[in-house]
Chain A
Amino acid sequence: MTRFASAFSKGPALVTFITAGDGDTAANLDALVAGGADVIELGMPFTDPMADGPAIQAANLRALGKGTTTVDIFGHAAAFRARHPDVPLVLMGYANPMTIRGSDWFAAECAKAGVDGVICVDIPSEEDAELGPSLRAAGVDLIRLATPTTDAARLPDVLNGAGGFLYYVSVAGITGLQQAAQTSIEDAVARLKAATDLPVAVGFGVRTPEQAAAIAKVADGVVVGSAFIDIIAEHGDAAAPHVEAFTRTLADAIHGAKEIAA
């Protein structure tokens, strides 16, 4: 069983996002795992994060301001894999930093560092050739995004070549701002699950345990990002205990959700 399959087999999963190089990355990653996160997304900072809201934009600039490089990020990933052999790790970011040394180089580094999957915000299925074939050849899952604007005609293209899990972006917008209505999330997840066997995780705008629990009743996973970024922005290098505590409230809410629903 892959790490993803295992992580999603135990009921709804908590998927957490932090930006590499923002705060004490190793300590925060450990805190996420200790708090009960099931899947970790590590953001690759980029100068021009055009799908992100103010919180993650600022995190990108903080990380780059401290001189975070791609080599540093793979260093974090490899060290994480050594400390946590079973927790799935995803790199999330933008096309240019992922492809600038060639997609084969990037895919090989991912495999070497024990990265399970990659989310690239600005490579839609139409441009799959840019990165997808290299990742699949290296045994790294390409995690695709579906959105409220992804219609039935497009969905098969989005799913073609997708792996790991399907990330449903619940609002047409940027990260960290408004949350979608619960009913629209339920409808969308039902539609997506009818079209794929991949687990469906829902993200964008999820900030509280209550929201997370509601989504966990219908989805296979809940993604929380900007709320962690806010904690790191507030506490800087000493954020880890706060990250762990917040992770635990989310994990308890999500992991309890299915049992209550059942």
Chain B
Amino acid sequence: MTDRPNSLRSGPDARGHFGQFGGRYVAETLMPLILDLERHYRAAQQDNEFKAEFDYLLKHYVGRPSPLWFAERLTASLGGAKIYLKREDLNHTGAHKINNCIGQILLAKRMGKTKIIAETGAGQHGVATATVAALFGLPCTIFMGAVDVARQQPNVFRMKLLGAEVVAVESGAKTLKDAMNEALRHWVANVHDTFYIIGTVAGPHPYPELVRDFQSVIGDEARAQILEAEGRLPDMLIAPVGGGSNAIGLFHPFLDDDGVEIVGVEAAGEGLDKKHAASLAGGRPGILHGNKTYLLQDEDGQITEAHSISAGLDYPGIGPEHAWLHEIGRVRYEPVTDAEALASFQKLTKLEGIIPALESAHAIAAAERIAPTMDKDQIIIVNCSGRGDKDIFTVADALGVEL
């Protein structure tokens, strides 16, 4: 944390609130455990050994630091600002998700918990969690909506290979939010020995804070890398936002740098007037899954289904710190549709030889829109949060190609 007065990096407050957002809206059964988790996390933050083990695993197991790649051909094609890509797609397991899983499993070990659970949508967080559970030899149960299990078979198989049990959740709409409900139900009945590795900067305090802290390695590295490459800070950061963990990881170390404009990209699905997953553009504040944040919901507060071609963005909420950064205007959030993301997915692949995750393709699409309006000596860092191998079936389907 910085010591700057009025720093935007000092949140949340002692009760886990970012402005009106965040908090601890959980059943009483979980409350003592949430408080215990916070105590252990505070102790871990002061513990050099914890930090050393986290850093060691990120370097030697995950493969950090991830490169900052100057996308010269993409830049030339747009004729505006220089575009750098933060290559989280090169991490072990193929995305930023693993950074957080390493941090949380170290916390689980520290708390003496012997079982791991997690929710997953497309399966990326499930795979990352199953991976660290395998590494630490802990039994692991992944909750995944039955609909997602059916459409993400390769990731289901990966998780099983890694030794995880995959529970197909049949309740509700059988997708990510229902998987999270079911993980919470399991947790409430097994709090004595089970650690819940939440996959994004959401859930009850202290999850949004600790996931952000573990993911901030992205922004810390990018800051050092751009200073080395260009001798100055970037003019803009762009990252995709579902729950928002890769985005907050990139943004957080730059929040107090007034000259750095920050853009989060929400999934506009088929369009904001149709099915989408843009909680800020199309939702309003409410309470779900332990925190207060922007949610897609009807006038009675019933949660509505999200839609995005990118399963990782297909969630009806957003992390509470993003909700706050949106309200105070520090970060600008822009929508990108399925069609735009699909076009950028192909464009980046052809121009740079990098197949981005569909999540990351949303950020590329925003960069394509914005870069031409900027000067050639200006700099944008885009978070290439994951690789697109997992998405080739979805993309082929959208393009009408039979595999």
Contact = CB atoms under 8 A, between A and B. Distances in A.
Nearest to B23: A127
A127 B25 contact: yes
Nearest to A95: B287
Interface of A: 46-54, 57, 61, 64, 69-70, 94-100, 121-124, 126-127, 130, 144-151, 154, 158, 169, 171-174, 177
- Interface of A, secondary structure class, is loop
Contact of A99 (B171, B181, B287): B287
Contacts of A96: 286-288, 295, 297, 301, 303
Closest CB pairs A-B (n = 8): A100-B301, A173-B189, A96-B301, A97-B301, A95-B287, A50-B181, A147-B29, A47-B303
B323 to A, nearest CB: 14
A99 B23 CA distance: 15
A79 to B, nearest CB: 19
B107 interface: no
Contacts of A53: 185
Given A100-B297, A124-B27, 5 more contacts: A47-B172, A49-B181, A50-B289, A99-B286, A130-B292
A26 B287 CA distance: 29
A22 to B, nearest CB: 15
B273 interface: no
Contacts of A127: 23-25
B15 interface: yes
Interface string B180-210: 1100110011011000000000000000000
Nearest to A60: B172
A50 B33 CA distance: 17
Interface string B278-308: 0000000011111010010101111100000
A51 B31 CA distance: 13
Contacts, number: 117
Contacts of B44: none
B26 A124 contact: yes
B15 to A, nearest CB: 7
B189 A122 contact: no
Interface of B: 15, 23-33, 171-172, 177-178, 180-181, 184-185, 188-189, 191-192, 286-290, 292, 295, 297, 299-303
A123 B30 CA distance: 11
SS class, residues of chain B in contact with chain A: mixed
B22 to A, nearest CB: 10
10 contacts: A49-B181, A69-B300, A96-B295, A97-B300, A99-B301, A144-B28, A145-B27, A147-B29, A148-B29, A172-B189
A177 B26 CA distance: 20
Nearest to B177: A48
A131 B59 CA distance: 46
A150 B286 CA distance: 26
Nearest to A150: B28
A195 to B, nearest CB: 15
A130 to B, nearest CB: 8
A28 B23 CA distance: 37
A242 B104 CA distance: 49
A17 to B, nearest CB: 16
Residue with the greatest number of chain B CB neighbours at <10 A, chosen from A52, A61, A149, A174: A149
Contacts of B191: 149, 172
Contacts of B23: 126-127, 130
A262 B180 CA distance: 47
B37 to A, nearest CB: 13
Contacts of B188: 51, 172-174
Contacts of A49: 181
Nearest to A178: B189
A70 B298 CA distance: 11
Contacts of A146: 28
